């Protein structure tokens, strides 16, 4: 029995809240690992680099020059985790959580509701192996969602990328971005986001629906494993575009941002990173991304499917009573 749109929304929101709370630490680590490569490239042009135990910040040092130490970078995901907790406190791992929640809830509503309606429109039938419906509906739903959520995503990345950003500064960040690049600046990084998220959705939904179709009556465990496996594969394949997206969004609002400068295209930046830092640079933060994406996809899809099943059974009982 079908469920209502409002019941779909409740199911997706529950999953979004649980996933955001559990997975935000991995996202914080991933963003900071990717952001530090930008600091390394631009730091030599500045007066001084201060290291606060977390990451290096370009700023004017205090009078006591001993407070500034030589810049260091996180060497790995585990190194970032230990040093963030040690120098900034465990709460820092949830930096940007309110912004993440503010973005995750509407994004999830749009994404999952669109996907479920579109896959039926594209001819999807439960229990059958279908390639085109999950791929096309996942891609379409992601384009719609990414376009709507891109400004919030940009703000979230800015909050997570550097320790000194505070929520009270969000207004100034938006004003700076609008002054530098106009309204279009709020969609800074949308291109790389689409290049990352659209293929991700295609890979993920095809893999998930394919694995799920192998069991006529999938259990929650089977759904969890299907979501986890599909998410991990899709996350690895699309990581280079995630790196570019982070770089693009962080440069918005920087003091040396030039709105008249012609910035390189996504593929040009990918090629430049590969030439200057090697192929490894395109997969910066891969452990953190997979560690977040795989369980996040599993938790989200399991929560969503559980919610839908609950409402389906509830609706069936209500119909029987009438």
Query: Which residues have a Cβ under 8 Å from the Cβ of 40 and sit 6 or more positions away?
Result: 56, 71, 73
pLDDT per residue, tens digit, the chain (322 aa), is 678 889 999 999 988 888 888 888 877 887 777 677 655 444 433 322 232 332 333 333 333 343 333 335 788 888 888 888 888 888 888 876 776 677 778 888 899 999 999 998 988 877 666 778 999 999 999 999 888 887 776 666 666 555 555 656 667 766 776 676 677 767 766 776 687 789 899 999 999 998 988 888 889 999 999 999 999 999 888 888 777 766 665 665 454 545 455 556 667 777 777 788 887 777 877 887 788 789 989 999 999 999 999 999 999 988 888 7
Distance CA 204, CA 272 (A): 28
What is the DSSP secondary-structure string of 187-222? GTTHHHHHHHHHHHHHHHHHHHHHHHHTSSS--HHH
Query: Which residues have a Cβ under 8 Å from the Cβ of 72 and sit 6 or more positions away?
Result: 51, 56
Check residue 141 and give its pLDDT: 94
Q: Spell out the domain ranges in the chain.
A: 5-315
CATH topology of domain 5-315: Mitochondrial carrier fold (1.50.40)
SS3 56: strand
Check residue 263 and give its pLDDT: 58
Check residue 165 and give its pLDDT: 55
Check residue 244 and give its pLDDT: 75
Give which of 263, 260, 242, 239 is closest to 251, Cα–Cα.
Answer: 263
Check residue 25 and give its pLDDT: 84
């Amino acid at each position: 029995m079908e469920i209502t749109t409002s019941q779909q929304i409740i199911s997706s929101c529950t999953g979004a809240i649980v996933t955001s709370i559990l997975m935000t630490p991995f996202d914080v680590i991933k963003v900071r690992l990717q952001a530090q490569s930008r600091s390394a490239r631009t730091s030599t042009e500045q007066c001084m680099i201060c290291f606060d135990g977390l990451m290096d910040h370009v700023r004017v040092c205090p009078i006591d020059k001993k407070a500034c130490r030589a810049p260091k970078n996180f060497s790995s995901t585990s190194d970032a985790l230990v040093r963030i907790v040690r120098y900034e406190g465990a709460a820092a791992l949830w930096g940007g959580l309110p912004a993440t929640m503010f973005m995750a809830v509407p994004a999830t509503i749009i994404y999952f509701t669109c996907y479920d309606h579109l896959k039926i429109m594209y001819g999807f039938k439960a229990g059958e192996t279908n390639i085109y419906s999950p791929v096309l509906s996942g891609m379409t739903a992601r384009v719609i969602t990414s376009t709507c959520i891109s400004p919030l995503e940009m703000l979230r990345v800015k909050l997570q990328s550097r320790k000194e950003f505070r929520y009270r500064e969000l207004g100034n960040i938006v004003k700076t971005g609008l002054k530098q690049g106009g309204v279009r600046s709020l969609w800074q990084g949308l291109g790389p986001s689409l290049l990352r998220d659209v293929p991700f959705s295609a890979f993920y939904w095809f893999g998930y629906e394919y694995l799920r179709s192998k069991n006529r009556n999938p259990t929650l465990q089977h759904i969890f494993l299907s979501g986890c496996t599909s998410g991990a594969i899709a996350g690895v394949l699309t990581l280079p575009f995630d790196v570019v997206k982070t770089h693009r969004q962080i440069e918005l609002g920087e003091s040396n941002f030039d709105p008249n400068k012609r910035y390189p295209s996504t593929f040009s930046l990918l090629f430049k990173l590969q030439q200057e830092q090697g192929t490894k640079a395109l997969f910066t933060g891969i452990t953190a991304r997979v560690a977040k994406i795989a369980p996040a996809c599993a938790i989200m899809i399991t929560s969503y499917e559980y919610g839908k099943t609950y409402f389906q059974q509830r609706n069936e009982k209500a119909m029987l009573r009438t």
